[in-house]
Amino acid sequence: MRHTLPIAPQFYVTAPQPCPYLPDRMERKLFTALQGEGAERLNNALSQQGFRRSQNVLYRPSCADCAACLSARIDVAAFQPSRSQKRALRRNAHLTRRATSPWATDEQYELFRRYLDSRHADGGMADMDVFEFAAMIEETPIRSRVIEYAHRDTRALTAVSLTDVLDDGLSMVYSFYDPDLHRDSLGTHMILDHIDIAREADLPYVYLGYWVPGSPKMGYKSRFSGLEIYLGGRWQAMKNPQAHDAIQHPLSTDPIAEQVANIQLPDRWPTRD
């Protein structure tokens, strides 16, 4: 008699390294491979539990002495643009949107390099070459799109977002833009446009990655109304950003075994004879 056994994903933990967001803290990630016929279902299930995708890997912060990183998403139905966000839309009214398959181009890489050199020259991606960039864009086992924003008249590429399409929303995996136009609030514009795309597609959420209270790099995410954070094993509306200040955040995490045991996998998982 033949028996079928579930192919459960295996979870691992990275070695500690300096945190890119908060000084004097160490970063550690819990991660698993994203591959095979169950990749789409696994990505949807774990995204709803605070995980993020990077190429063929799903990860979530699992730092030994800090729990400041909070997965964030926007409830599209609850979102109302602020005055400054409306101004950002007007400033970028000349941009046109083009959604393409996840395929890297030289024009994208040139813009990406200018963005990194200007905004994140000391970050973990600072040395990424054209082949690594292509892998970041193209190595995806799920439904992903590259959203390009270009000047209506000159056609100059101005901003780009690598975006995953989930069952319940859009996940902005990585975004970059022309650093010479930082006053145009292009990052804000891309999020606002993704809210419009989600609304048109009847998708309830836009996933923004991690919000880190106390980190200037991440402060902009808390300015969006309808923001929800994944905390205590559930999504909840963020009412007061100051209440989650990194200095006041509880510096403790559950043991790795307990974290893994609490992860909810898809109901229908592929089996092997």
Residues of the chain with pLDDT under 70: 1-7, 120-126, 245-253, 268-273
Predicted confidence (pLDDT) per residue in 119-133, tens digit: 765 666 667 899 999
Which pLDDT value is given to residue 253?
65
Per-residue pLDDT, 204: 98
Kindly write down the DSSP assignment for every residue of 53-118, as one continuous string: EETTEEEEE--SS----EEEEEEGGG----HHHHHHHHHTTTEEEEEE-S---HHHHHHHHHHHHH
Q: Is 5 left (phi over 0), alpha (psi -120 to 50) or beta?
A: beta
Residue 232 is predicted with a pLDDT of 85
What is d(CA 155, CA 164) in angstroms, rounded to the nearest whole number? 25
Fill in the DSSP letter of residue 186.
Answer: H
